[in-house]
């Protein structure tokens, strides 16, 4: 057998400070030109596997490792990290965590500079990588001004410039808008077609299926549960664990009983649904005095609204929702929460009415236990001890973390931390809930479960969430906003807004199989539904 780019044999690893092994007996091989998709729930060992292959384990992350990783027939255990990095390139989950250079040119050249190559050769290779990814125009840009999709490509260019034979992509789509995600996937396919071996860890399985990966690995509990062709995946995995194409889910769900009907926002029913809880009146805003990033936003969030805010990376979505809780004050116009101008109320006062879940959990977690973390908000709002006890328990149940009550939140995985951050706001029992990308970095089963639970909570009268996941809007929203370039482009019912594919495309959104199926069946259903429900219509 010729020396394959990558052969992994009986690989097991246990982190030094943990009792249980993170991965067990992993064996597989990858050929040149292969795209191998690695899927599985949060904490199943995907990232550990990637770290074993790229050498960060055991060099940076200590523990017990057995088995072998062979690159072109050579065992990498004796290689230095620098040697591995010339053969195996890694693009981390969040490109923000990988980019070191201030300018795109410096970023892409970083690895080559470290190898001590001549300056002319470095510049030549940098330009080659930038042209390959069609981002040569970004060469002189400062990295912090790039959009999410651009950052991803620049991080990839920095790795490609080192001309690796194997490319590891750790959740490359997690922070990208749908169109940027498609671009990233097309790039991966293109590189594989050039002969590169690509291992892609990704939760968004349905999206990756578009580029027809040669093989799929499904991991569970640190082991391989399935390794084989794409066609076999849907037969072995539960459609509730992995997001498959809507048609496949419909086929498989026909054999199961229909899903329980979700009663959305029961607390809002019968309370006068047209009342405006939050009102944006001609709101304009800019971080600097001469640059406006929000322009003339007019909007009402009414009782009973479940609003999905869609739009490309850097469109102003987060800036827009930060006005609702008063973290940002408009430069022109005004924002009213419960009839009160946010300029005249403190953020803490607004927080009792409107709960806001930040995008990144690491900016808020501080307490020694999950329980104390969740009590923090209600205590600030002067809830009683008994009330807090109940609120914390309920919030933990919703995000499926009841068994972690006494654990330190900072020791949990990213996905679990994100759920703690959501629970921390749920425990405050606000009337309006605002979530900024609640499902980013979460596995499918977990986020569908907590979204189901949150929407059925009696305490909320309106919910607004920012998302890149069009299906989340299809399944849960009764109103969709599209924000682009600081402007409100569309505002309406999902079936009206999401029907206009040209508008979606213009705003870097991509129709999904579930959206297409819902539109097709809309005359019969009269509303959008999840695929499991469509199976029984």
Partner 1 sequence: MLIPWRYRKRENSFIQSFDPRAWLIFYICFLFSALAFWDMRFLLPFFAGALFVLFTSGVKWHEIRRAFLFIVGFVFFFAVLTFLTGRGGVEHYTEEHLIHRFQASFSILGWVPALDITVERIVYALSQFLRVGSMAIMTILIPYSLNPALYGITFKGLGLNDKFAYAMDLTMRFIPTFARDFQLTVDAQRARGYELEKFSGGLIEQVRKMGPIFVPVVIHAIIGSEDIIDAMDLRAFGIGPRTWIDVLERKRRDRILIRFGVALLVISLALGILGYGGFWVPEAFLQLAGG
> Token pair of 288, please?
């600097």
Question: Based on CB atoms, which residue is closest to partner 1, 145 or 402?
Answer: 145
Per this entry, what is the length of the chain?
537
DSSP helix/strand/coil, 300: strand
Query: Considering the rule CB under 8 A, would residue 123 count as an interface residue with partner 1?
Result: yes
Nearer to partner 1, 284 or 410 (CB): 410
Pick the closest to residue 11 from 50, 59, 60, 62 (CA basis): 50
* CA–CA distance, 194 with 94 (Å, rounded to integer): 25
- Decide if residue 112 touches partner 1 (CB under 8 A): yes
Nearest distance in Å: CB 503, partner 1: 32
Burial (0-12, 13-18, 19+ Cβ within 10 Å), 238: exposed
Min separation Cβ 364 and partner 1, Å: 4
- Candidate residues 243, 322, 479, 530; the one interacting with partner 1 per rule CB under 8 A: 322
**Gap between the Cα atoms of 185 and 99, Å rounded:** 20
The span of 115-123, 307-315, 443-451, 501-509 binding partner 1 (CB under 8 A) equals 115-123
CB of 493 to partner 1, least distance (A): 29
- Over the Cα atoms of the chain, what is R_g? 24
Binding partner 1 by CB under 8 A: which of 42, 48, 54, 175?
54
Q: Which is nearer to partner 1, 111 or 330 (CB)?
A: 111
From 108-116, 271-279, 390-398, 518-526, give the range in contact with partner 1 by CB under 8 A.
108-116
Angle subtended at Cα 466 by Cα 465 and Cα 469, rounded to the nearest 5 degrees: 105
> Counting contacts by CB under 8 A, is residue 100 touching partner 1?
yes
C-beta separation of 23 from 45 below 8 A: yes
- For residue 291, the 8-state DSSP code is B
Single out the segment in contact with partner 1 by CB under 8 A; choices: 130-138, 309-317, 362-370, 455-463. 362-370
Q: Hey, which bits of 102-255 come out as E strands?
A: 166-170, 197-201, 215-220, 223-228
Token pair in block for residue 99: 């980019």
With CB under 8 A as the contact rule, which of the stretches 37-45, 100-108, 240-248, 466-474 interacts with partner 1? 100-108
Of 81, 236, 516, 537, the residue at the interface with partner 1 (CB under 8 A) is: 81
Give the interface segment with partner 1, choosing from 18-26, 94-102, 127-135, 524-532 (CB under 8 A): 94-102
Phi-psi domain of 70 (left: phi exceeds 0; alpha: psi -120 through 50; beta: other): beta
* Footprint of partner 1 on 275-294 (CB under 8 A): 289
H/E stretch holding 153 reads helix 148-160
Helix (H, G, I), strand (E, B), or coil: what is residue 308? strand
Per rule CB under 8 A, is residue 99 in the interface with partner 1?
A: yes
DSSP string of 79-124, one letter each residue: S-HHHHHHHEEEE-SSGGGT---SBHHHHHHHHHHHTT--HHHHHH
> What is the pattern of x (binds partner 1, CB under 8 A) and - over residues 384-423?
--------------------------x-------------
State CA 514 to chain mean position distance.
Answer: 19
Contact 234, 248 (CB under 8 A): yes
CB of 186 to partner 1, least distance (A): 24
For residue 233, what is the DSSP state?
Answer: H
- Only one of the segments 80-88, 192-200, 244-252, 299-307 lies at the binding site for partner 1 (rule: CB under 8 A); that segment is 80-88
Is 117 a binding residue for partner 1 by CB under 8 A? The answer is: yes
**If binding is defined by CB under 8 A, does position 138 make contact with partner 1?**
no
Choose the stretch contacting partner 1; rule: CB under 8 A; options: 111-119, 295-303, 333-341, 385-393: 111-119
Question: Quick one: how far is CA 206 from the chain centroid?
Answer: 14
Q: How far from 46 is each of 22, 39, 42, 113, CA to CA, in Å?
A: 9, 7, 8, 30
Task: Pick from 82, 236, 269, 537 the residue near partner 1 by CB under 8 A.
Answer: 82
363 binding partner 1? (CB under 8 A): yes
> Rule CB under 8 A: is residue 360 a binding residue for partner 1?
yes
Residue 80 within binding range of partner 1, rule CB under 8 A:
yes
Minimum separation from the CB atom of position 512 to partner 1 (A): 30
> Among the residues of 399-512, which ranges form H helices?
414-426, 444-455, 470-476, 494-497, 501-506
Contact status: 169 vs partner 1 (CB under 8 A) = no
Tokens of 31: 């050929």
Minimal distance, residue 155 CB to partner 1, in Å: 9
Q: By CB under 8 A, name the binding residues for partner 1.
A: 54, 56, 59-60, 80-82, 85-86, 90, 92, 96-103, 105-106, 109-119, 122-123, 142-144, 151, 158-159, 162, 289, 322, 325, 327, 346-348, 351-352, 355-356, 358, 360, 362-366, 376-377, 380-381, 410, 424-425, 428
């Amino acid at each position: 057998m010729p020396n394959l780019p990558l052969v992994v044999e009986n690989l097991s690893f246990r982190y030094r400070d943990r009792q249980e092994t993170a991965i067990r007996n992993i064996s597989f091989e990858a050929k040149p030109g292969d795209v191998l998709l690695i899927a599985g729930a949060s904490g199943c060992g995907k990232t550990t596997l990637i770290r074993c292959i790229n050498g960060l384990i055991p060099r940076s992350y200590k523990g017990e490792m057995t088995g072998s990783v062979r690159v072109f027939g050579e065992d990498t255990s004796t290689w230095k990290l620098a040697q591995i990095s010339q053969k195996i390139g890694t693009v981390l989950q969040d490109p923000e965590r990988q980019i070191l250079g201030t300018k795109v040119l410096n970023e892409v050249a970083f690895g080559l500079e470290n190898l001590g190559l001549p300056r002319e050769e470095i510049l030549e290779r940098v330009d080659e990588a930038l042209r390959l990814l069609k981002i040569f125009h970004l060469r002189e840009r400062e990295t912090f001004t790039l959009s999410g999709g651009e950052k991803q490509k620049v991080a990839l260019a920095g790795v490609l410039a080192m001309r690796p034979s194997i490319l590891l992509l750790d959740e490359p789509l997690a922070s990208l808008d749908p169109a940027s995600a498609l671009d990233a996937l097309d790039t991966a396919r293109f590189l594989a077609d050039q002969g590169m071996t690509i291992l892609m860890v990704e939760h968004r399985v349905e999206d990756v299926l578009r580029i027809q990966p040669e093989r799929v690995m499904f991991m569970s509990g640190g082991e391989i549960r399935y390794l084989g062709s794409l066609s076999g995946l849907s037969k072995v995995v539960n459609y509730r664990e992995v997001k498959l194409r809507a048609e496949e889910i419909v086929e498989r769900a026909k054999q199961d009983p229909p899903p329980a009907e979700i009663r959305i926002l029961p607390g809002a029913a019968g309370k006068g649904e047209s009342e405006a809880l939050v009102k944006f009146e001609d709101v304009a805003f800019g971080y600097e005095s001469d640059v406006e990033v929000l322009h003339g936003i007019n909007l009402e969030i009414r009782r009973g609204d479940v609003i999905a805010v869609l739009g490309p990376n850097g469109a102003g979505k987060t800036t827009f929702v930060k006005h609702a809780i008063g973290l940002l004050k408009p430069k022109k116009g005004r924002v009213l929460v419960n009839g009160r101008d946010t300029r005249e109320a403190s953020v803490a006062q607004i927080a009792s009415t409107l709960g806001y879940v930040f995008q990144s959990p690491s900016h808020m977690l501080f307490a020694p236990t999950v329980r104390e973390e969740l009590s923090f908000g209600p205590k600030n709002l002067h809830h009683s001890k008994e009330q807090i006890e109940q609120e914390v328990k309920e919030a933990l149940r919703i995000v499926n973390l009841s068994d972690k009550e006494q654990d330190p939140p900072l020791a949990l995985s990213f996905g679990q931390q994100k759920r703690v951050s959501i629970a921390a706001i749920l425990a405050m029992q606000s009337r309006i809930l605002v979530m900024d990308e609640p499902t980013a970095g979460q596995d499918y089963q977990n986020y569908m479960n907590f979204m189901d639970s949150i929407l059925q909570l009696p305490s909320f009268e309106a919910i607004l969430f920012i998302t890149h996941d069009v299906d989340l809007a299809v399944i849960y929203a009764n109103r969709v906003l599209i924000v682009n370039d600081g402007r409100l482009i569309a505002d309406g019912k999902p079936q009206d807004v999401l029907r206009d594919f040209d508008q979606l495309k213009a705003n870097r959104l991509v129709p999904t199989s579930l959206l297409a199926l819902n539109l097709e069946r809309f005359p019969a259903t009269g509303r959008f539904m999840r695929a499991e429900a469509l199976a029984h219509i």
